[in-house]
Structure 1
Amino acid sequence: MALFDRLRNWGKSTPPSISSDSYLGAERRAKRRINARAGTRILVVDDSSTIIALLRKMLAQNAYEVIEAVTAEAALEAAKTGPELIFLDIVLPDGDGFNVLRELRKRAETRDVPVIMMSGNAQATEQFYVQRIGADDFMKKPFARAEVFSRIEVLLDSDYRPRRTAQRIGVPAELAGMSA
């Protein structure tokens, strides 16, 4: 269940349901979370100040450095500062995330930076298209804290740095048994 759904149901007597695609439940809490190293630079690109604030708060709690952009132009400029991971919304006021992703993949300094695309519209065709142009993952909005960190965890290499799938050579022992 997404964070926004949990907040909407806050204080109601029925406990939240647990589905197979949910990140809630005892199984998740029992598993030790693997985090990227402190100081990891993460660029968050979204035109929603709510989404940016939510991700900033979540990521800052793990001592990640958060860089923010609200437009495609600002995202490309901010990408020059050397982020190690990018959360990129598909719909932006001055363009779209697809074009930003294409440009990021053309640039030598951002070609190998993992990108997690985000959208409130998670249609299968959109997900397929995202993966075809070089995104490393896709996250539907709204999202839960556990989902954000689970998606980061999957991208970590043996030094706990985010890496694109093709770049991850060593895998931390804690992740060896994890299914992708």
Structure 2
Amino acid sequence: MGLFDQLKSILAKAPAPSSQTPLPQPGLSTGEQHVDRRVRERHDARPGTSALIVDDSPTIVAALRKMLNSAGYVTLEALTAEDGIEIARDLTPDIIFLDIVLPGMNGFAALRTLRRDPLTRDIPVIMISGNEQATEQFFGTRIGADDFMKKPFSRLEVFARIERLLDADMVPRRVSTGAAEAARDAGAQA
């Protein structure tokens, strides 16, 4: 029996994958796995939701802009933390995607500034970074991040992160401090 025949024999014995089987999604932990986006019900933010993207990479900004615009979001953009804070104060976006590593002020300092300002403290913030360290997530959560997303990210992940922050009116809202602390405590006990 030749190599090709052996391979054919092995493949013939393997069960065909079901289209209804949940597929693992890169970048999401086991508890956050989702079924294929075409199968599961998707909950989108209301049309016209504004998202501020703060990242020094034009490629990341362009990718997020394209994803969000295609879903009806209005996007605002900044390449530095200082510009992002100014835009957030002036235009009060519904949600902010904030990179951690930025020129000048970093994302953690920017997040602290946003949380101390009465005009911006209630805007949900999703931190993004190319380096997914547990310490970054912990520190970001401690100073007020609502979620954390690792680069590179998929469209599915971006909208799953937003969906977790939607309220009954389909508007992104901050995770309540009490709920965030309870979830953190439950995770520590597990």
TM, length-normalised to structure 2:
0.75
Structure 2 unaligned runs (5+)?
Answer: 1-22, 178-190
Deviation at 1:94, TM superposition (A): 1.3
Corresponding residue of 2:155: 145
Tell me how many residue pairs correspond in the alignment. Answer: 150
Corresponding residue of 2:7: none
Deviation at 1:29, TM superposition (A): 2.7
- Higher relative contact order, chain-length normalized (CA < 8 Å, sep 6+): 1
Question: Could you report, residue by residue, the CA deviation over 1:4-55 in whole angstroms, capped at 9, with x for unpaired residues?
Answer: xxxxxxxxxxxxxx54656798544311110000100110000000000000
Corresponding residue of 1:40: 49
Counterpart amino acid of 2:138?
Answer: F
Corresponding residue of 1:10: none
Q: What secondary structure does 1:157 align onto?
A: coil
Match of 2:80 among 71, 95, 114: 71
1:102 corresponds to 2:115: no
Deviation at 1:72, TM superposition (A): 1.2
Question: Could you report, residue by residue, the CA deviation over 1:61-105 in whole angstroms, capped at 9, with x for unpaired residues?
Answer: 111000000001101111121101000000001120000000000
Q: Runs of 4 or more off by more than 2 Å in structure 1? A: 18-29
Percent identity between the two aligned chains: 57
TM, length-normalised to structure 1:
0.79
Corresponding residue of 2:126: 116
Alpha-carbon distance in 2 for matches of 1:110, 1:25? 31
Alpha-carbon distance in 2 for matches of 1:76, 1:27? 36
